[in-house]
Chains A and B, each alone.
Chain A
Amino acid sequence: MTAAGEPLIRLQGIKKVFYTDEVETHALADVHLEIGQGEYVAIAGPSGCGKTTLLSILGLLDTPSDGGYVLDGRPVAGLDASERARVRNRQIGFIFQAFNLIGDLTVYENVELPLTYRGMSSSERKERVHAALERVGMAHRVRHFPAQLSGGQQQRVAVARAVAGDPAILLADEPTGNLDSVNGEAVMDLLRELHRNGATICMVTHDPRYEEHADRSIHLFDGRVVDEQTARAEHIP
């Protein structure tokens, strides 16, 4: 658990270098970042600036080439694959641009999936899945398969899956990227609602409109944090 006054996430000097055909690509260079409990942070920047790489490192989908990463008071940069999976399962909720629901599973089973990996009892899973689906307004579609849902509905299910396990932080990668403006707004409203209820959110976006929903915006360019803005007061809960 995070000690009083400690940020939920602390990145120190994070670097990420990709090597392809003897060419070094510095995706992230000396990134320092702190995200507090209950904060809503947007990561913005032009295409190729390292937003998604940063989010992948935050989500333990990727490992930094150098630097330190403390999540909820625990250093996680050097964890092995199995431990990283455990941390992802318990402390991180993902919302992807492409939804990434599993087509062969029903809405209920998709939301239930991270809970089964946690070894949770069936009755508790059921309770949590229904609660999560209620929060996103999809409780009436539990038996449907993703292909039977609209894009907006799929993303709401994805949000339900992300929050069902009560993670420490929600990581959203362009959550509206595959949606039309109406559905995009609905998903953003949903995230705002979750934030109001105490969720910590870190969202990658290149859309300035959605950036404004966050408490704080971090701008990347060529793998470096070049600007950091705090949102207007009315957005602070």
Chain B
Amino acid sequence: MEFIRQDLRFALRQLIRTPGFALLTVVTLALGIGATTAIFAVFNAALLRPLPYPAADRLVSLWATLPGQPRLLGAILDFDAMRAQARTITDLGVIREQSVNITGGDTPDRITGAFVTANTLRLLGVRPERGRLILSGESASGSSGAVAVLSDAMWRTRFGGADLIGHTVILDGAPRVVIGIAAPYQSPWGPIDAWIPVSGAPAAATWLDRANRNVWAVAQLRAGVRVADAQREFSTIADRLAIAYPGTNAGLGVRLTPIREEIVGSSAPVLWMMLGSIAIVLLIACANIANLQLVRAARREREIAVRAALGARRGRLVRQLLTESLVLAGLGGIVGLVASTWLTGAIVALIPGGVPAIGAVTFDGRVFGFAAIVAVGTGLLFGAWPALRSTRSDLNRVLTVRGASGGRAATRNLLVGAQLTLCTVLLLGAATLARSLIAAEQTTVGFDPHHVLAGEFRLPQAKYPTPDVQRAFMARALDALRAIPGVESAALVRSAPLTGNFGQAGYRIPGTAPTAVPSSALENDISDGFFHTMRIPLLAGRDFTADDRPGSPLVAIVDQDFANHAWPGQSAIGKQIVILGPPDQVVTIVGLVGSIKQRGIGDLPMPELYQPLRQATGPFVSFVIRGAGDPTRRAPAVRSAIWSLDRDQPVWGIRSIDSFVDSNMAAPRFAFAVGGLFAMFAAILALIGVYGVMSYALTLRTRELGIRAALGAQGLQLVRLVLGEGAVIVVTAVLLGVAGALGASQLFRSLVAGAGQLDLMTIVGVSAGLIAVALGTAWIPVRRAARVDPIIAMRAE
């Protein structure tokens, strides 16, 4: 114990006596450990922290699939059949999240509703805070389902915590009795404001048709059953259903996803990339500090040798030196931990769409433990090698011969080379992201997104029960929107581009035999004026008109991708397709338009077909309006226009299309920002390493350079000599980094969606740039050394 106290005392004294070194090291470590801990805190919240659901590790989601479409809504009847037949699960419930209008207060509002079966609530661990949950009988088919369980947040914010049990609220225009208030809770799919029996969903009766796929499901695996085993069983059941119901289930599969994967989704690779990148930066920082430690150790060689001569065993000396490193790491860890609390907030704010986790990002025991392990680990990492090396000195030489040792140049060169190699990998990764980002920024979306305002509303089934009534409201709504001052054009559309909404439909060409897996295309329903409003070019044929109404011949407009796929080399105008139902509909193509990015900027092109909204009316619709200036300033006028027709009709999601474009770009911009920031850190640290190593190496070679100068070497010759040796390290390290980056590029592309290929131009540009900057950095001490005065240099020894 006393030894430890002595070591600590001496370590602290050493640091106080070298404040510059101590400060530089602690700040470097604090940044490295702080950033690593902050990212781990996010990682922990998303991927490690236990989920607040019963038997969460056995909870899975179930989505229908078609070839190439891994995440589709399924039919209630199919999930019922799976529940009855599957032996690998204990229970299965269905769920459908959907916007719900809540009215009866000062203003109508849109909330998030979840239409569920009673067992879904049990599976997801929803608990009643007041009243009770939904009973099986209330969610069974045939029941009115006219009850609701409100969330704690909804109950408090909208109803002020009043006694609501047994009272009625108006949801989607229909009265529902509040039977319970759920305890604070977050579902895997985000906050839910109201839980409603699936039997009470709008047009619930039509959901009991295999052709209507409206829900997904959750299930709990039996203990000991692996997801893969359950997947096999469910796929077998899906195959049986496809044979039994070929008209609706041909090609239809089912996909089981562990619930954590469901929550984290595509964010997991980004989190891994962030953690991996910061780990590389931390490694580079460790290599830098190890280099500094080696230089210090060289200066302390005599002290260490004296201690050894006085009887200190090597283990004792290593412990002493490691104590100094661990004290530095400890200080860096403490400061880093404090910094990480701030950094975490910044990272959380920067992640597009927020952290994919249940609950806030907090510092729990795991995060503190991680910070402690990282601090100790870095201390050992940057301290162990110098400690082991510096205690291996030849005592006889050190104690009896004057002058500093230069024997560790190889080690220092190796460390700085490793830094440059890692730095090259990160820089190439960042450059790839930059090129991908530039490519994404330059991607044309196929329409003019500027000066367009979008929004959406859902007509409550109870109030607008038939297509005729819905169509009438929409016609008046479109007129009202077009009448808003400053609006140049307006249109209605089922799924406005880039908003995240989209529909799909299967189709076939008449006269061709039905295939097991039908062709599929994006399907959208639009009013007249949509293409004009969005500035989508009409390439052939015509736009929809008022004559395209119910009862008139069914028509459609297709985009260029669709035409190329269905009728390559032919005109699409006048051709017919069968849109698969039920019921199947034969439609005639009357127009051809340019292809657009419907789902997302980064998505691959997919054929799209448009139908007239008046021939395919539904309760949900979006609007797009174009006018000069900032489109968002028209939001109040839009609400007023809709409320002038129906005071209880909520309008939500009012945003400019430009903002959706920005949202689409957020992920690649974030990936580039993170990758670029880490690469920049790495480059700075590596260049500091290059500078430090060159400076120190040249200090050791002062006498040699002095002799060379005395023998007549010119300054330029000395520069060439020393810089040439540095260039070998730099070029070798960068080439190794290029090889590493090429090796890692496949992994990198699999981790980061949209990351491009590592091309020759990027490799050459980054490598040449890094080599030039590294040699430029090395040139500073080299130039100084080349001006050596032979007399002074030789006296220095």
Chain A residues with a Cβ under 8 A of chain B: 52-53, 56, 59, 61-62, 81-82, 85-86, 88-90, 94, 96, 98, 100-105, 113-114, 116-118, 122, 161, 173
Contact = CB atoms under 8 A, between A and B. Distances in A.
B399 A61 contact: yes
B68 interface: no
A86 B314 contact: no
B720 interface: no
Interface in B1-22: 2-3, 6, 10, 13-14, 17
A102 B311 contact: no
Nearest to B6: A116
A117 B316 contact: yes
Contact of B306 (A82, A89, A102): A102
Contacts of B314: 81-82, 85
Given A102-B303, A102-B306, A102-B307, A117 B312 contact: yes
B313 A104 contact: no
Determine chain B's interface SS by DSSP, over half rule. Answer: helix
B309 interface: yes
Contact of B310 (A52, A98, A113): A113
Contacts of B402: 98
Contacts of A61: 309, 395-396, 399
A82 B313 contact: yes
B2 to A, nearest CB: 7
Contacts of B310: 88-89, 94, 113-114, 117, 161
A52 B400 contact: yes
Contacts of A122: 2
A104 B312 CA distance: 17
A104 B17 contact: yes
Given A100-B399, A104-B10, A116-B6, A90 B17 contact: no
A109 B14 CA distance: 14
A117 B13 CA distance: 19
A1 B370 CA distance: 54
B308 interface: yes
A73 B426 CA distance: 63
A118 B399 contact: no
30 contacts: A53-B396, A56-B396, A56-B399, A56-B400, A61-B395, A61-B396, A61-B399, A62-B394, A62-B396, A81-B314, A82-B314, A85-B313, A86-B311, A88-B309, A89-B310, A89-B312, A94-B309, A100-B306, A101-B306, A102-B307, A104-B13, A104-B17, A104-B303, A113-B310, A116-B2, A116-B6, A117-B307, A117-B310, A117-B311, A117-B313
Contacts of A94: 309-310
A161 B306 CA distance: 11
A59 B305 CA distance: 13
B508 interface: no
Contacts of B396: 52-53, 56, 61-62
A198 B400 CA distance: 27
A88 B396 CA distance: 13
Contacts of B306: 96, 100-102
A117 B316 CA distance: 8
Nearest to B312: A117
Given A85-B311, A88-B310, A113-B310, 17 more contacts: A52-B396, A53-B396, A56-B395, A56-B399, A61-B309, A61-B395, A61-B396, A62-B394, A85-B312, A90-B311, A102-B306, A105-B10, A113-B307, A117-B307, A117-B311, A117-B312, A173-B400
Contacts of B3: 116
A158 to B, nearest CB: 10
B302 interface: yes
Q: Which of B309, B311, B313, B315 has the most CB of A within 10 A?
A: B311
B302 A118 contact: no
A116 B307 CA distance: 11
Residue picked from A98, A100, A161, most chain B C-beta under 10 Å: A100
B53 to A, nearest CB: 57
Interface in B297-333: 302-303, 305-316
A210 B644 CA distance: 115
State which size class the interface on B falls in: 20 to 34
Nearest to A52: B400
Contacts of A118: 311
Contacts of B400: 52, 56, 96, 173
Given A52-B400, A104-B13, A62 B303 contact: no
Among B306, B307, B394, B395, max chain A CB count under 10 A is at B306
B272 to A, nearest CB: 44
A18 to B, nearest CB: 10
Contacts of B13: 104
A100 B302 contact: yes
A26 B201 CA distance: 99
Nearest to B314: A81
B405 to A, nearest CB: 15
A20 to B, nearest CB: 12
Contacts of B307: 102, 113, 117
Contacts of B395: 56, 61-62
Contacts of B305: 100
A114 B306 CA distance: 10
A166 to B, nearest CB: 13
Contacts of B309: 59, 61, 88, 94, 100
Interface in B392-442: 394-396, 399-400, 402
A78 to B, nearest CB: 17
B726 to A, nearest CB: 25
B395 to A, nearest CB: 4
Contact of B311 (A98, A105, A114): A114
A99 B315 CA distance: 25
A161 B394 CA distance: 22
Interface in B356-409: 394-396, 399-400, 402
Nearest to B310: A114
Contact of A96 (B303, B313, B316, B399): B399
Nearest to A171: B309
Interface in B81-125: none
B313 to A, nearest CB: 4
Contact of B308 (A62, A85, A96, A101): A85
A81 B10 CA distance: 24
A86 B310 CA distance: 9
B307 to A, nearest CB: 7
Given A56-B396, A61-B399, A116-B3, A103 B311 contact: no
Contacts of A103: 303
Contacts of A82: 313-315
Contacts of B6: 116
A161 B310 CA distance: 9
B313 A86 contact: yes
A13 B490 CA distance: 107
A15 B91 CA distance: 85
Contacts of A113: 307, 310
